[in-house]
Amino acid sequence: MKKTIIILALVLGSNLLAQEKETMHSFDSNFAHVVYFWFNEPENENHHKQFEASLTKFLNNSKYAKTNFMGKPPKAVRDVVDDSFTYNLIVSFESAEAQEKYQEEEAHLIFIEECKDLWQRVIVYDAIGVAQ
């Protein structure tokens, strides 16, 4: 009986966590904003910590970003893979208009001000979803 209760609690708990994560992180295919950053000093760990802290704060306070992904490149094993960047950011939005508002929101502007001296290059790829 005790094992049954523990198993039931674990299943219910994991279902609640999965549902919360799914609700919070379901990708909105209306508009994707993909950003690549190349740092001035890509090996400087203090700059990495500063960037990650500032970006996390920004994304947690954004009124418009629906989902986000922050990553670093893995070591490329194929010629077609570009691993020259320092960080990658993928953010989804409900619309192009929401993405435009995101560009001017205070949290975004603070992030840029806090981190603009860390990077030498930034490239952005925006895409509108295609109905399938």
- For residues 40 and 119, the answer to whether their CB atoms sit within 8 Å is yes
Measure the CA–CA gap between 40 and 34, rounded to whole angstroms. Answer: 20
The closest alpha carbon to 33, from 122, 132, 131, 121, belongs to 122
Domain ranges of the chain: 27-128
Q: Per-residue pLDDT for the chain (132 aa), expressed as one digit of tens each?
A: 444 333 333 333 333 333 334 434 567 778 999 999 999 999 999 999 999 999 999 999 999 988 888 999 998 889 898 999 999 999 999 999 999 999 999 999 999 999 999 999 999 999 998 876
The closest alpha carbon to 37, from 72, 78, 77, belongs to 72
CATH number of 27-128: 3.30.70.100
The closest alpha carbon to 54, from 32, 34, 73, 70, belongs to 70
What does the buried/exposed string (b/e) look like for 106-126 if buried means 16 or more CB atoms within 10 Å of the residue's CB?
ebbeebeebbeebbeeeeeee
